A and B are shown apart, each in its own frame.
Chain A
Amino acid sequence: MEANLSACPTYHAGAEPHPTSILDPRQQSPDNEKPAAPTSSHPQLQAHNDHTMAEAPKPSSSVKLVLLGEAAVGKSSLVLRFVNNDFQENKEPTIGGETLTWHATAAAFLTQKCNLPTRTIKFEIWDTAGQERFASLAPMYYRNAQAALVVYDLTKPTSLVKAKHWVAELQRQASPGIVIALVGNKLDLTNESGDADSEGADGDESGDARKISTEEAQAYAEEESLLFFETSAKTGHNVSEVFTAIANAIPETSLKSTRGPGAANAVSRGGDEQRVNLNGPREAAKEGCAC
């Protein structure tokens, strides 16, 4: 959907009429006179636009969600399950030149809407793209994130240790109000079938690959005020529940601004009218568009 929108260039950022320059004859095309249409392909502007859409049934807000967790715990799989309701059995690891195409597809920038009774949350899901491998995540990654999914593999104890590290890192670097969900993935490898609704089994039965008990992880989550779920990206068990719970946990107040807590500072003189959407006018200038 995003890709389609970007082909539709009639949106003009900073909707005020601007002086038409005679230096650029293209600026005098009739396109320029069209009223601003809410067709921004720029996700940051999406939330703002949604409010202006007459057909929007309820308020909609964008929420930046970041993914963190040890390699191979199923971060990308969880997101793919959530976004496409899809699972790839022998998916290659996300990182490394060999799996370039898959990675580019998966990690680039996924969005998914989550419909709540009173509002719609649009998740902009950021993958680390492997930059955490050598401790090289950029501050940009945490910037204005309103939610984080910290994933571990409940068959692998070290992955919970790593998850705790990421929780601490989020508490240090991210916005103070960030909603963090701790997610134990690969429930399908335990005796509790991910398909069934069996809950709360402690996983001590023989043949069970579970190495981290529900109680242990839950206790930690409560201590740090994290949401907590056990999921299976493979079967889909509990996956949409995680995102719905996050959507519900995000305070109404932080949704008012376009872009999380940081955006509040930006609104001073001139405020948001000075924000620009680079994609819109640029493409309008390049060539005519059918839409």
Chain B
Amino acid sequence: MDEIAPEYDVIVLGTGLTECILSGVLSVKGKKVLHIDRNDHYGGEAASVNLETLFKKYGNFQQGTEPWKAYGRPADWNIDLVPKLLMSSGELTNILVSTDVTRYLEFKQVAGSFVQQNSGSKATIAKVPSDAGEALRSPLMGIFEKRRMKSFIEWVGTFDANDAGTHKGLDLSKATMKEVYDKFGLEAGTRDFIGHAMALYLDDTYLDAPGKAPESIERIRLYGNSVARYGKSPYIYPLYGLGELPQGFARLSAIYGGTYMLNASVDEVLYDGGKATGIKATMGGIEPEMKFETKAKFILGDPSYFPSKVKVVGHVLKAICVLKHPLAGTGDADSAQLIIPQSQVGRKNDIYVACISSAHNVCPKGYYIAIVSTIAETSANHHLELQPGLDRLGKIEEQFLGPPIPLYEPLEDGTKDNVFISKSYDATSHFETTTDDVRDIYRRATGEELKVEGLREGLQVSEE
């Protein structure tokens, strides 16, 4: 067995997406990285697992039975533990392209993005309009409202934060998004789908926050640009599941000299004068186990490796469902996102439904995987909170619903103890907050801004 070096620049604990992007980038920048995971697979909380693993994780079957055998080969299933999609013009896409990790992955569009209006038996589902033309055709609005929406979207397209002439007479350092909506006379239902299905806010607190309008407009533009890029929806998705993403960045890191070790548990983080200096760890899965100790200038890790250094900031509810049919109301889309805005179902937080299928190589032909999620608002009966989403699924073949999932954030920024901890994957439907966290950790740990543009230029080789 090879030897572990006595010292690295960075030790990274956990192979979730945040950690793997950081490893990849740090390795490309010439840092010597040791990357460890206690699991025998890549991805941590952001892994994709097969159906057998999922049954065993949730334990929702009778001992001695093997219910997964009714669903084809377990290996044909790649079920995401975190339901997210990539914004096609978002920051993760940017990082994937800049680092050339796109070479290891294939992406497909998600076929549609939908929003629900009303609830119960009156619920209707409609495509989220992404441009002025779609706004005019959308069943979400009446004839006059369509025109108001069209002029709003056109304004968003020409808006320039630095050009007061485009600000419609509003003082955007103080204005709230509500005032912007008021300016265009938009109805409550329209505000709902703009704020929740386009700007992708999880709740309504953005409406009354002074000075937040430019951020909201930026989010609407990201949505519009992402739709414009490929045409069907703002989202793309990697074939074989999101678990491919951390693997791709881990490979990038390894190519630039990163050392990878799965099945390795951290026995102790070593400190000197309050600052982390290294780890003691054991690699299992081999006979005999390999115990080792090594040093590093700093340590990165996901919250599960530092339970005493993180706090719980909320809980996410999630039900993973196996279906044999597409989502109703989506035109038989092979993949879709459906957003149920909170106000439509009397909640404070939106309910998301993400649905993907064999078109994305995550399950055998004829199956669909739908994940219903939301932020927990009560302390019991969580299935009731998800019910408006579950109602949209029709017949459910299998349902995996666990206890509320705690969301963690680090207590400190890491500069005191040289331990830089990532945040849990939040309830948003995309990875924009994940890449924010990557940038934030990079800045805290290295003291520099992360610039991914042109990262690999100069190290590229011509071929053939």
A: residues with CB less than 8 A from B are: 1-4, 13-14, 16-25, 27, 42-44, 71, 83, 95-97, 99-101, 103-105, 107-113, 127, 129-131, 133-136, 138-141, 143, 259, 262, 265-266, 268-270, 274-276, 278-279, 281-283, 285
Interface string of B38-63 (1 = CB under 8 A from A): 00011000000000000000000000
A103–chain B nearest beta-carbon distance, Å: 6
Complex partner residue of A22 from B5, B157, B256, CB under 8 angstroms: B157
Q: Does B248 contact A (CB under 8 A)?
A: yes
13 interchain pairs, CB-CB under 8 A: A21-B228, A22-B131, A23-B131, A24-B225, A27-B228, A97-B257, A131-B260, A133-B2, A134-B262, A135-B263, A139-B42, A266-B239, A270-B359
User: Who on chain B is nearest to A122 by CB?
Assistant: B464
A269–chain B nearest beta-carbon distance, Å: 5
Q: Is the CB of B108 within 8 A of A266?
A: yes
Known: A20-B228, A130-B254. A262 touches B463 (CB 8 A): no
Chain A positions within 8 Å of B156 at CB level:
23
Q: Is the CB of B225 within 8 A of A134?
A: no
Interface string of B141-169 (1 = CB under 8 A from A): 00000000000011011000000000000
* Besides A21-B227, A96-B5, A265-B361, 20 new A-B residue pairs in contact (Cβ under 8 A), listed by A number: A1-B462, A1-B463, A2-B463, A20-B131, A21-B224, A23-B220, A104-B257, A108-B460, A109-B463, A112-B464, A133-B2, A133-B260, A134-B264, A138-B251, A265-B358, A278-B97, A278-B102, A279-B97, A282-B93, A282-B97
Complex partner residue of B359 from A83, A133, A274, A281, CB under 8 angstroms: A274
Chain B positions within 8 Å of A127 at CB level:
255
Chain B positions within 8 Å of A265 at CB level:
76, 358, 361, 364-365
Q: Does B221 contact A (CB under 8 A)?
A: yes
Chain B positions within 8 Å of A113 at CB level:
464
Known: A100-B30, A107-B255, A282-B97. A268 touches B285 (CB 8 A): no
Q: Does B250 contact A (CB under 8 A)?
A: yes
B144–chain A nearest beta-carbon distance, Å: 20
Chain B positions within 8 Å of A42 at CB level:
102-103
Complex partner residue of A276 from B41, B109, B157, B256, CB under 8 angstroms: B109
Chain B positions within 8 Å of A22 at CB level:
131-132, 153-154, 157, 224
The docked-state distance in angstroms from the alpha carbon of A276 to that of B88 is 10
Q: Is the CB of B157 within 8 A of A140?
A: no
User: Who on chain A is nearest to B198 by CB?
Assistant: A23
